[in-house]
Structure 1
């Protein structure tokens, strides 16, 4: 029994880490193969005699850098992904949505690999500059990079290869430093602007090897047969012909030609198809938790969007180059030519947008839209059983599903939806209270009450109430005031999962108007956080030996916990869970 459990656990581990193991294997194969090639081939004997293993390390890491630079652009070809969606989603939708869900992880893995090997590659070239200076070959002067023996290696950095190499290293380190979660959360503009340097990095990557620093011997077939038995590291090499040298031909363009072309075509495609006309803000609503609801007009009659998709928005009054993704909360229809997005004010761009919406008239702002684009959350609309978990504003991908169920209570898909929403305060329930209440009543009327199973968790006790006020002072800056209406003894405490319970009548006296106005939701509101062992146990008992998709949109801790819980439950029970996650940050 234990052996079977270990085998199942190992299988699940390999299944979860398949992509990571495949990537590491590909990188190690490319690294070792290139290293051995430059270590053993005859044409590199003379330059290898000067540089030693530095030649092999620099060329091996260069091949990995070429691979990373090429694949780093693939996840950002949004129009290409849309094209693939139309083809693959009809034949194998699971594969396409798996790619969309793993696109961010794929980009991060490739970027980390690029950063590590960029440092190693630069260090190996610094050693090569030292060896070029100290190991100056006076017999074959054309193979040298230094002008004379013991030349200062720092002067070699002033060459085209040195300047472009240092510039690329600084760009990579800058993008890596600004990609950390702390910088992205607090200074998104810095993260955005540094990543715009990647096109400059690609140009430098093509120019970098063209200077011909490393040279190889031009070997003909007869010379190859003559010297094939000679040890490539030996100094006793004799040949009837005088060796001729030529710069090592760069193959960088072969690596990045196709992905770079796809990326540039994708950008041009998006620019040409992007509607440059003004998108009108039809309505603005400031909701609890500093969330803004924007009702926007459709750019044209061809603008179509499906549940779970997202758009990119740009406010020209705030930034001329920044585009930010937001999930469409209400998709446009033939009769209603508008769509709605919810924006949580968190960061410099959203803070500037909130200020513009308060300080100026919303219909005067210049808003552009790009998209819509596919998302892993589209799979919710096509599941027989969809398990959805959201926290805070992460509820946005699942709101269109409720709209669809309200308008089509007897439709086949989605069959049954289990929706768990975790919020901090009861006031945030107002975002979804009216829609959820209408959907539940409509499903009851259509004799489909079991189609939606809704659980709402409030992590803070509602005894404490906070008033959040936004105002603009004389200087035009935003002022946020949070006023507590309770004493120190009544501070909010996070309840443990075992102590959560539905709201009672006595507690509803101090609750917000959401519970009072929508009594249907009152029995579905629980205090504290979900007890995941009980929740997953219910799903396993209710759907024995089924394969379920769990869609999650929320903070990193929640995603990590649910991902681990899905893997553990799949390995210990006959009910299998596939974890699907969406995150833009």
Structure 2
């Protein structure tokens, strides 16, 4: 409970506020449409499904207003840099912007389903209202609008009409179908399997949000749901006329009621977010046109390519990431990559592993598969958007930080560790960070190779500075064959590790996280410790539970603050 209060209070309050606003808007709108006199005659035909349709539409407007805000990355970066959000719960909250984006997407899907089901029932009830089974009042209401002086209530103008045709020739029907189709494609392509295995599919279908919002703004123009006009309410005495419908049009007290639809209001909800996102897009487009010079391309083992670049005005912090575009591979796709260089270096770099069509295409364009390196003028043009902040940028905000990486997830910490190295090389080192624990889990020995040089340099620098206790490496090899095991066992007495060349020996198998966290907690009692992770979701859950388990309920005790990379 203590861990939860310290780490998740702000997140919980934001989540409860969002859910509370959804509940309030739904219930308030539902009750209003269930009781408003303006919609009394509409309820005679539709019943409670009118309120279900309108309440879900209100929540859709609210969540569609929110859905774009978390992905306005420049705005999030500005907030991260403010004094109020520079550290603590608020900064960790900003790191969860994509998680909130997903939650809002799920809420939109839920209310879309409610809205569609309610309107499907409404359409059938509109049709049935013209039959004998609807009763006399229902028949009268359904036939209002047959005279030129009357405004209709029932948009289905005939019992024998083809309902499907009637729906799809209307503005509300066409736009509703387009919106739903776009939403289904966006949601299904956003699953983790698609994003990791077919990122291009995820990227292209996610851009259907443009069609989604255009359809959303137009959708209300159909004015399918209609209620009495205010003027008609003044002339038409509802309390008397609703029971004397057989007198409608025959007495001055009960003129035939007039009806009209609601004016479109969705644009009022989404106008500001769309303007803000448009400004974001303009900034990104301007950045994409800035010249990027590739200064060096290095091919590492395990299909990893290091690309070093320069760009005018580019400024970064350790652990940030950029979006990369290669027009020679695709003019539309932008892919996120963590920066592996340090701010102190005269260039910025990324490490790209070939795991999909786009990354394989980039490696091919950069000559990774060629025996001879390409000349600078032969290298492809790249466009860069960013940098943007991520969880790893918070490493220096703690006295003690625990950095945990799995496989290629080590890239955010490459920048952090390099920056640490440069800070210790500088005579003006004023770093608040006192201790770093670094854990790296790899399936094979080749994955260690491209990162080992940095670790060796760091280890030597710490030794020269007399800071051997500052940085603790814990490298774990989770997969090996019999030949490797025999070779490792034969050289186990060497001063340096046979795999990495480090003084810290490589461990085999998976770490006992309970033991590791207990050890850290005992060594740093009364300290706030930042835990940073980049890797698979399954391991993330384990680490998060370890942080909860080993955090003290006493505010003066040790507390682990969990941070996961998410972009």
Q: TM-score range by the shorter chain?
A: 0.7 to 0.9
Structure 1 residues 541 and 99: CA distance shift in structure 2, 3 A: same
Which residue number corresponds to residue 158 of structure 2?
148
Cα deviation for residue 328 of structure 1 reads 0.8
- Alignment partner of 1:57 is 2:52: yes
Structure 1 residue corresponding to 2:184, chosen from 139, 161, 173 = 173
Q: Distance in 2 between matches of 1:147 and 1:417?
A: 73
Structure 2 residue corresponding to 1:118, chosen from 112, 125, 141 = 112
- Alignment partner of 1:565 is 2:546: yes
Cα deviation for residue 200 of structure 1 reads 0.9
Q: Distance in 2 between matches of 1:323 and 1:421?
A: 28
SS, match of residue 95 in structure 2: helix
Which residue number corresponds to residue 479 of structure 2?
460
Which residue number corresponds to residue 268 of structure 1?
282
Contact kept in structure 2, 1:313 and 1:370, CA below 8 Å: yes
Which residue number corresponds to residue 122 of structure 2?
128
Cα deviation for residue 275 of structure 1 reads 4.5
Q: Distance in 2 between matches of 1:447 and 1:166?
A: 68
Structure 1 residues 352 and 362: CA distance shift in structure 2, 3 A: farther
CA RMSD of aligned residues (A): 3.1
- Alignment partner of 1:515 is 2:497: yes
- Alignment partner of 1:352 is 2:361: yes
With normalisation by structure 2, the TM-score equals 0.86
Which residue number corresponds to residue 300 of structure 2?
287
- Alignment partner of 1:46 is 2:36: no
Q: How does 1:409-558 map to 2 (within 5 A)?
A: 409=424, 410-461=429-480, 463-464=482-483, 504-506=489-491, 515-516=497-498, 519=501, 521-558=502-539
Cα deviation for residue 571 of structure 1 reads 6.1
Question: Could you report, residue by residue, the CA deviation over 1:427-466 in whole angstroms, capped at 9, with x for unpaired residues?
Answer: 222222222122122122222222212211111236456x
Q: Distance in 1 between matches of 2:347 and 2:4?
A: 49
- Alignment partner of 1:377 is 2:392: yes
Q: Distance in 2 between matches of 1:42 and 1:423?
A: 67
Gaps of 5+ in 2: 131-140, 146-151
Greater shift in the superposed pair: 146-155 or 174-183: 146-155
- Alignment partner of 1:299 is 2:308: no
Cα deviation for residue 420 of structure 1 reads 1.0
Contact kept in structure 2, 1:279 and 1:366, CA below 8 Å: yes
Q: Distance in 2 between matches of 1:440 and 1:67?
A: 53
Which residue number corresponds to residue 475 of structure 1?
none
Greater shift in the superposed pair: 8-17 or 251-260: 8-17
Contact kept in structure 2, 1:42 and 1:232, CA below 8 Å: no
Structure 1 residues 277 and 318: CA distance shift in structure 2, 3 A: same
Q: Distance in 2 between matches of 1:84 and 1:344?
A: 31
Q: Distance in 1 between matches of 2:4 and 2:417?
A: 39
Which residue number corresponds to residue 24 of structure 1?
19
Q: Distance in 1 between matches of 2:230 and 2:19?
A: 34
With normalisation by structure 1, the TM-score equals 0.84
Structure 2 residue corresponding to 1:309, chosen from 320, 324, 331 = 320
Gaps of 5+ in 1: 1-6, 466-489, 493-501
Aligned length in residues: 533
Question: Could you report, residue by residue, the CA deviation over 1:50-93 in whole angstroms, capped at 9, with x for unpaired residues?
Answer: 21122111111111211221111112212212222332x45643
Contact kept in structure 2, 1:307 and 1:381, CA below 8 Å: no
Which residue number corresponds to residue 101 of structure 1?
95
Contact kept in structure 2, 1:214 and 1:247, CA below 8 Å: yes
Which residue number corresponds to residue 421 of structure 2?
406
Cα deviation for residue 176 of structure 1 reads 1.3
Contact kept in structure 2, 1:566 and 1:579, CA below 8 Å: yes
Q: Distance in 2 between matches of 1:230 and 1:559?
A: 65
Cα deviation for residue 252 of structure 1 reads 0.8
SS, match of residue 405 in structure 2: strand
Contact kept in structure 2, 1:40 and 1:232, CA below 8 Å: no
Cα deviation for residue 517 of structure 1 reads 8.3
Structure 1 residues 163 and 400: CA distance shift in structure 2, 3 A: same
SS, match of residue 548 in structure 1: strand
SS, match of residue 96 in structure 2: helix
- Alignment partner of 1:82 is 2:77: yes
Q: Distance in 1 between matches of 2:532 and 2:241?
A: 60
Structure 1 residue corresponding to 2:213, chosen from 202, 207, 211 = 202
Cα deviation for residue 537 of structure 1 reads 0.4
Structure 1 residues 506 and 524: CA distance shift in structure 2, 3 A: closer
